[in-house]
Amino acid sequence: DTAVSQTPKYLVTQMGNDKSIKCEQNLGHDTMYWYKQDSKKFLKIMFSYNNKELIINETVPNRFSPKSPDKAHLNLHINSLELGDSAVYFCASSRAGGNQPQHFGDGTRLSIL
């Protein structure tokens, strides 16, 4: 009965590959997010998305793209992986409205060889 679940938990792959990370939430939330946490533990938002609006952090390379098949899922697709993409990626969700707390998944640790 995990609220926000991400798969896989660990992902090891080679530079240049294309990979996807899946995220599902069973909280009935309207908004989902992707974050990147680097090796220094600094957390940075990448995207926030609901069925009306996608907000992209301008610093995110266009190799990263969110894909949402339905309200409960927001997958992260990454093309042409680079060494600098190694990080922990967190998915989160919240109810609509700006003052709603976010609920986080446990993260996906991506390692690029």
Binding site for another protein (CB under 8 A): 4, 33, 40-45, 48, 55, 57, 90, 92, 98-107
CB of residue 11 to another protein, shortest distance in Å: 15
Cα distances (Å, whole numbers) of residue 79 to 16, 59, 63: 7, 16, 5
Which helix (H) or strand (E) covers residue 90, if one does? Answer: strand 87-94
- Residue with Cβ nearer another protein (45 or 72): 45
- Residue with Cβ nearer another protein (69 or 101): 101
Distance CA(54)–CA(67), nearest Å, equals: 10
CB of residue 21 to another protein, shortest distance in Å: 13
Residue with the two structure tokens 């992209």: 56
- Residue with Cβ nearer another protein (15 or 27): 27
